[in-house]
Structure 1
Amino acid sequence: MTEQHRNPLPRLNWLHMVSAPLCVAALTLMTGALANAQDLTLNETGSTLLYPLFTTWVDAYTRSHPGIRVTTGATGSEAGIQQALTGKVQIGASDAYMSDADMRQHPQIINVPLAIAAQTVNYNLPGLNTTHLKLDGPVLAGIYTGAIRNWDAPQIAALNPGVALPHHPIVPIHRADGSGDTFVFSQFLSFSTPAWESDKGYGTSIAWPAVPGSAGAVGNAGMVQALQSTPWSLGYVGVSFTDKLAEAKLGTAALKNGAGEFILPNKDTITAGAASLGPRTPPDERLSLVFAPASGAYPLVNYEYAVVSTKQADAATAAALRRFLLWTIVPSETNEAYLDTVHFIPLPPHTWELSQAQIQSIK
């Protein structure tokens, strides 16, 4: 995937709720359709970042919607996209949107944002895991290419004056599976570091340089485990695993954003990162939210996508799929509470309306 879906960045007054008429219309559509629900199964697989939220959604939805079963799987975004393309699942969960080339080959596929998430950069640095080290794109690119090898390298020390950095080799850990987290992380490296963009670029899979000691891990759970068990390591993890990172007592970096500020990930900074780009989301909703230049914006932010076909096997499956996806995005305190449990934020009004329109195109 090589296209960079980036746009000018106007400011947005962030709203968590869309207009009342639209909410009522969506709720009426879903409620009225319940009487026609048939016994059937919807299958979902893909993003390990989105998986904890999907399991929460499915548990709540199937308890209140008898006759509908939804299976879930944590196989990685790349696998989710591919299985949606081949019709093996109705929903491919992905942190990455499909490329222009893939969309031309599969015009029946849509990329529907359901929520907004982020990635964190984490490390296991003995004695310093409670310190929020400052890191930027060029330093991270240098670590993953092997140009920066030690924790006390001048480039890292310059960003962290007064921190007693150890003279010890860094162990960079990357995702070994096709991952939307890799897509977002490598976008950050590409957008902030021209040398990375011209050499590696971004995608769900990257030809990672052979850095001495580097290692691959499968899934976000695998990344957390690899970081915890490997002193001196550094990696990137989906924000839905924030609680697991805290349990593992791993460090979290403050990352330099497009405005030159070092920002930690939290609800406010993720919201600021998405708010600066939300109004520019196109009708097909394939847009990078990475490295926004707005003040206070965390730079590793992304839409969480349902990759689905508008041409389902039958009308009953299409109707059930529409109802479920509309339910996941309808604004309510309950749905926002589901998002809070995994440190996600709701779609802004403009994106919510676009997602609703795309979902309605499923037949």
Structure 2
Amino acid sequence: MKLTRVGASVAMTAVAALALSACATNEAPATNNGSAAPAEQVEQLQGELTGSGATSQETAQATWKAGYGSIQAGVTVNYGADGSGKGRDAFKSGQSHFAGSDRAFKTDEIKEGGFSQCAEGSGLVEIPAYISPIAVAFKLEGVDSLNLDAATLAGIFKGEITKWNDPKIAALNEGAKLPDLDITAVHRSDKSGTTQNFTDYLNKAAADVWTEKAGEEWNPEYGGEGAEGTNGVQQVLGSNGTIGYLDASAAKDMTKAKIKVGEEFVELTPEAAAAVVDASEIEEGRTELDLAYKLKRDTTESGAYPIVLVSYLVGCAEYKDAEIGKLVKSYFQYVTSAEAQTAAQEKAGSAPISEELRGKINAALEKMK
């Protein structure tokens, strides 16, 4: 079905819903403190939304759709986890109403225009709705705790540190009984947003060692053992002497390294992962509705865990079809509510956004049309 037909249908049903609910006092399914409001307290909308994009959001999106449906029973939300690139393309061409993406649109991409859903002259709204910590997991018999800094981690994955009892590792783990055993560094063999964010951390936090810029594909010159997908990495990490990076939700039962930030070694927690976003700044050249962050991977902020993937929800600042804009705004407001973020944490292992970030997002979404 072409989107023009979908848009027409959504507009008709949404207009009808508005006529029936003129007495409603609230427009969005969230209260000022970020909590989702009961269905009887929000304007009941009608229609269908189509989104597509990041696979990282797939489980969270399923959770969000279910929660949103309990508040807005008349709205159907569809999300196809086709990958960030395809999601951005689908949104720009008008095949979907919103996108999920593991990166924001670049400023020059936005300047090119051609976003079919957006009103003339409209910018984009991009909000960091899904924060996924990336764990550095290892298996080393007799060792249940490991401290690493960025330079040492980069040396391991670049193939320059090859033994577990290497002096550089030992210096960070005083008293640990590190064996004279080869290190098997496990990386993703397929294109991966996890690899993109992991190598971005290494490049930003250990630039003297990891001189190569971030990329979705692993450089084969660095060696190590490749595994396809998160499941593949999980399987290889079952062997003694291995270390690898993977989404934290897939590393729940694994032993995870602490990462040096400033003068402390930070354990991976949802709060620590969210803290690195708060310690970062919006990229230059962005509008007030475009909350695209330049993550400060080399932060020294106490308690911040810098190896994270931040995935965005992308829509128009103003839609050509105002009724579609109302639906997208309503859904985005629900997704970033405290309840929806907590639900995603429980189901997908993501890190809920902080109250500080929620305040910035709410301010941006209020201006969305």
The two structures have a TM-score, normalised by structure 1, of 0.75
Partner of 1:132: 145
CA distance in 1, matches of 2:65, 2:156: 39
Question: Tell me, what secondary structure is at the counterpart of 1:194?
Answer: coil
The two structures have a TM-score, normalised by structure 2, of 0.73
CA offsets 1:149-203 (integer angstroms, 9 cap, x no match): 2323222222223323233333323334443323332222112112356x31124
Q: 2:214 pairs with 194, 197, 202, which one? A: 202
The letter for the 2-side match of 1:299 is P
Task: Report whether the alignment pairs 1:211 with 2:219.
Answer: no
CA distance in 2, matches of 1:221, 1:304: 20
Given the superposition, is the C-alpha separation of residues 58 and 98 from structure 1 closer, same or farther in structure 2, using an over 3 Å criterion?
same
CA contact 2:274–2:354 (8 Å) conserved in 1:
no
Instruction: Mark the runs of 5 or more structure 2 residues left unpaired by the alignment.
Output: 1-29, 116-122
Partner of 2:245: 236
Q: 2:206 pairs with 190, 193, 196, which one? A: 193
Q: 2:263 pairs with 260, 265, 270, which one? A: 260
Partner of 1:96: 103
Given the superposition, is the C-alpha separation of residues 357 and 226 from structure 1 closer, same or farther in structure 2, using an over 3 Å criterion?
farther
Partner of 1:16: none
What is the number of residues matched between the two proteins?
327
Given the superposition, is the C-alpha separation of residues 116 and 73 from structure 1 closer, same or farther in structure 2, using an over 3 Å criterion?
same
Question: What do you get for the CA RMSD once the two structures are aligned?
Answer: 3.6
Following superposition, the deviation at residue 254 of structure 1 comes to 0.4
Following superposition, the deviation at residue 315 of structure 1 comes to 3.9
CA distance in 2, matches of 1:124, 1:208: 23
CA offsets 1:324-362 (integer angstroms, 9 cap, x no match): 11111134xx33531441444443455334423544565
CA contact 1:200–1:206 (8 Å) conserved in 2:
no
Following superposition, the deviation at residue 226 of structure 1 comes to 4.1
Instruction: Mark the runs of 5 or more structure 1 residues left unpaired by the alignment.
Output: 1-19
Given the superposition, is the C-alpha separation of residues 88 and 235 from structure 1 closer, same or farther in structure 2, using an over 3 Å criterion?
farther
Partner of 1:319: 326
CA contact 2:283–2:292 (8 Å) conserved in 1:
no
CA distance in 2, matches of 1:97, 1:208: 24
The letter for the 2-side match of 1:173 is V
CA distance in 2, matches of 1:138, 1:274: 22
CA contact 1:45–1:89 (8 Å) conserved in 2:
no
CA contact 2:53–2:80 (8 Å) conserved in 1:
yes
CA distance in 2, matches of 1:293, 1:134: 16
Task: Report whether the alignment pairs 1:37 with 2:41.
Answer: no
CA contact 2:201–2:307 (8 Å) conserved in 1:
yes
